[in-house]
Chains A and B, each alone.
Chain A
């Protein structure tokens, strides 16, 4: 059973702080990893994807991947109240395997 685990939260951080969201996955064959943001009542919106070990930065967002530890994280710098949402971590293997999602972590940025 391929699983992606996330702490459901809520994770509360003050405005301007760094929010750290974490995710672990069970399938060692997973090759690509995605972070989606989902506002209440809306559909998931892609934030970042990462395929290689290490860090990948895009603006205020940094994704980190450690395949040996089967661990993915998302850092949000200078958090804003508009970042308050549920963050979904997803993993996909090679070939025709679909996305496997975690349950999501709810982030609340307090002004």
Chain B
């Protein structure tokens, strides 16, 4: 079975631009979460979606937004990019949200560099 897929793998943007990152969960998984990981730190939670509804949001500014589509794939959008947005963006999928079946499996990530 295919794992979590993310695109693109790498991205270079300049300050002030906008970026859209994409994620497809494991087949049968209905929950998608997004995390940001800066160098030397653990992943930080950004958003969680389950059945196309936002179920949680981390401490990130409104420049960050996301959505989940009927096929459970998801997009993360970041507007007005700042240098500090440079990070590895991780998508994780799980079977269910908020239960003992919520083990999350990560995709390969999108490495974003903002110049």
Which residues from chain A sit less than 8 Å from chain B, CB to CB? Answer: 4, 31-32, 34, 36, 42-46, 49, 51, 88, 90, 92, 94-104
Q: How large is the interface on B (under 10, 10 to 19, 20 to 34, 35 or more residues)?
A: 20 to 34
Complex Cα–Cα for A88 and B40 (A): 11
B16 at interface, CB cutoff 8 A = no
Report whether B56 and A43 are in contact in the complex, using a CB–CB cutoff of 8 Å.
no
Query: A4's closest neighbor in chain B, by CB?
Result: B42
Given A96-B98, A101-B42, the answer on whether A45 and B106 have CB atoms closer than 8 Å is yes
Which residues on A sit within 8 Å (CB–CB) of B100?
31-32, 51
- Excluding A36-B106, A88-B42, A98-B58, 14 further A-B contacts by CB distance (< 8 Å) are A4-B42, A32-B103, A43-B90, A43-B107, A44-B43, A88-B43, A90-B42, A92-B102, A96-B98, A99-B92, A100-B45, A101-B42, A101-B44, A103-B40
Q: Are A46 and B103 in contact (CB under 8 A)?
A: yes
Q: A43-B90, A44-B43 are in contact. Are A98 and B48 (CB under 8 A)?
A: yes
> Do B56 and A46 touch (CB < 8 A)?
no
| Interchain CB contact under 8 A, A97 and B56 | yes
Closest to A96 in B: B98
Q: Is the CB of A43 within 8 A of B42?
A: no
How many whole Å from A12's CB to the nearest CB in chain B?
Answer: 18
Q: How far apart are B11's CB and chain A's nearest CB, in angstroms? A: 15
